Structure 1
């Protein structure tokens, strides 16, 4: 009997997880779910995070050294960053157009707004405190943060991925510049480590359906508590806002990316979607571009035919600096909150949101909820009450799952475009997924 493909296993695990969460809330099994099922979801996430830093470090070093000359590295790097910035700006502008057209913030009553403020007061305060520390930094602080003072400290923190990327690029470039006979043993070492890490990925992914089940089962239970109708009622109240964000994210996946894949990538979008689907499902369930990175790389290379030297450079970089979904969400959320407070934003203020959201997306960690902290900075820049973030915290986890899916799809899209322009795209005749 043919084994069920991984993405279908993950999809089944997600569905069963949601159903279990609703059932557990109805039958009073909340404590049981949180104590005995949810921890396995946490373990699964920890396993993915465990290999995130080693994978980025080793894959980037092997990717850079495989380019073999500095001029080629410079050309590919310039293309990659230019494409990432372009898709991010498109996402932010699209979000602003939609939120101004639909005006979801005007659907809130003052009573409901006050209720949200009180319910999420402590969380809002924590987000504001986190963002304040970032806001007080100088204009060149992001540049300072990229250069680590101790690479070993950076490798112990998944939030310091930019520093790991900086070191990996510097190390890889240095290997290109030293005599080939001296560099070859080091290259062989990292190639072997890379193979071992990818094998670890295969082992971890065997548990993916079960990890996703536990993850979503625990999430639904935490959201609903002992009253499943509470979750439904809350989602209905904020449904309009969620719909606007979802429409924007859907347009990115089904309009913006297809145009790029078909025109520049010279590839049928159905083929592209089928190839990247397992990574999309994992991104949806984990809400982490970094945690999904191993699967994204595997899909790009095996299913889409993207050369390894391109995928190992473009995708790790994208998981850190390319957050199209997060940027779109931030622009919609900022104007939504302004509308809820009755604030009319000028064109200048909204252009400021474009700039701030684009730059904030570069600094956002590729982990669940990081975009919410960066949103506070966007709100402060536009003069929107930070307290209004309480309005969107309830459905944020669901939207985080959706926007992470867009983030990962955007990374794969740019990777394909770079590969095509470099003559490094060789689509397989048949897509196979483990």
Structure 2
């Protein structure tokens, strides 16, 4: 019998544990040894870890640009379904904004990074101090809104101005959708560019276990065992926000906009949520979601065959929640103050980034780099998140596909495409 191959995310989780163990041992026994400190902790561990972070940063601009162009082009096709398409897109955008707002609120109540003092890490402290100067300028709301429109798109791409890049990519994508076959060559260019960047992302992620080991080992070598407490608070904050989004926000919208029972919805859709949790990929659940909505809830396939695949592409509420909590966690851990404008920027960036987030495991970590860049947070903070991302990735995928199904049910109900007898049948 062939042995089951260990998945990448499992390897990353193992690397996290081993890195923490090695780091704690070094911190307790030989951190003051000049050879260990200079050549291992601040030599090998630092070079490998920072090399990986630079590779992730390398991916951000081309990946986000190509994927959002493709995502926007897909949204442009909604005109073929008229009002149904418009309602679907607006619903997805609204719930994503709500998701980030919930995440930021929960994180500021729990304060997962308060007291972590990650600035003790010498190299990261430099990044934190440099970003602090950028965030203390606190640009006005008017300037923030105007800066979304790039005066020079090429300059925005070169400098990594993420909101301007997203805006420009959205415009291109929508125009591609409008022109259709006239610009098929350009459409193929961006589609194939997106495929190339996804493959490059997988290549970079393939070395993640070794790099995560080095990042975490260096962190624990410097800070000791106490870091685990803050990581657990981060996990708790994300899980609470996910539960609120799935159990309160979605179900309230379902009840208010349709009058249908949220309890019956959750009972019937639970097997799909369990499947999404186990696979951590929205794309894999598309056939099961459509079939469950049809057979158990009486939702017409005419609607679900459009809204569910679209949701797997543009509706990533769970990922947006992770990003919102991560922003607060890292800002608190590095002692960086975020203004109200920064929070609004996070909401806008995470919402727009969800359009281009692929429905495959761990890609949300790449777009998290983009969200960090938008408010000047050190990307090195992602090293604290990567190892424990597998558990959260599974949970947020379940939330993602639940949002798709709730949207589909609401849109179908308002369009007269829900069989109430099937829905209410237990």
TM-score (normalizing by structure 2)? 0.61
Q: Runs of 4 or more off by more than 3 Å in structure 1?
A: 39-42, 113-117, 132-139, 142-148, 150-160, 232-237, 427-433
Q: In the aligned structure 1, how far is the partner of 2:6 from the partner of 2:193?
A: 21
Count of paired positions: 295
Aligned to 1:288: 281
Q: In the aligned structure 2, how far is the partner of 1:77 from the partner of 1:272?
A: 23
5+ residue gaps, structure 2, are 10-73, 125-156, 177-183, 197-208, 214-219
1:350 to 343, 347, 352: 343
Say if 2:364 is the partner of 1:397. Answer: no
Aligned to 1:376: 369
For 1:39-58, what aligned pairs fall within 5 Å after superposition? none
Say if 2:277 is the partner of 1:252. Answer: no
The answer to whether the 8 Å contact 2:112/2:230 transfers is no
For 1:123-272, what aligned pairs fall within 5 Å after superposition? 135=160, 138=165, 139-144=167-172, 147=176, 149=185, 238-272=231-265
For 1:63-78, what aligned pairs fall within 5 Å after superposition? 73-78=81-86
Give per-residue Cα distances to partners, 1:151-190, cap 9 Å, x unaligned: 7788889969xxxxxxxxxxxxxxxxxxxxxxxxxxxxxx
Q: Say if 1:145 and 1:234 are closer, same or farther in 2 by CA, change over 3 A.
A: farther
How far is the alpha carbon of 1:40 from its aligned partner? 9.2
Q: In the aligned structure 2, how far is the partner of 1:133 from the partner of 1:278?
A: 45
Where 2:358 maps in the other structure, the secondary structure is coil
Q: In the aligned structure 1, how far is the partner of 2:253 from the partner of 2:123?
A: 40
Where 2:185 maps in the other structure, the secondary structure is coil
2:331 to 325, 332, 338: 338
How far is the alpha carbon of 1:145 from its aligned partner? 5.2
Where 1:108 maps in the other structure, the secondary structure is coil
Q: In the aligned structure 1, how far is the partner of 2:295 from the partner of 2:324?
A: 35
Give per-residue Cα distances to partners, 1:121-166, cap 9 Å, x unaligned: xxxxxxxxxxx88937844124435746377788889969xxxxxx
How far is the alpha carbon of 1:98 from its aligned partner? 1.1
2:272 to 279, 282, 298: 279
Q: In the aligned structure 2, how far is the partner of 1:323 from the partner of 1:431?
A: 28
Aligned to 2:3: 36
2:97 to 61, 72, 89: 89
Where 1:104 maps in the other structure, the secondary structure is coil
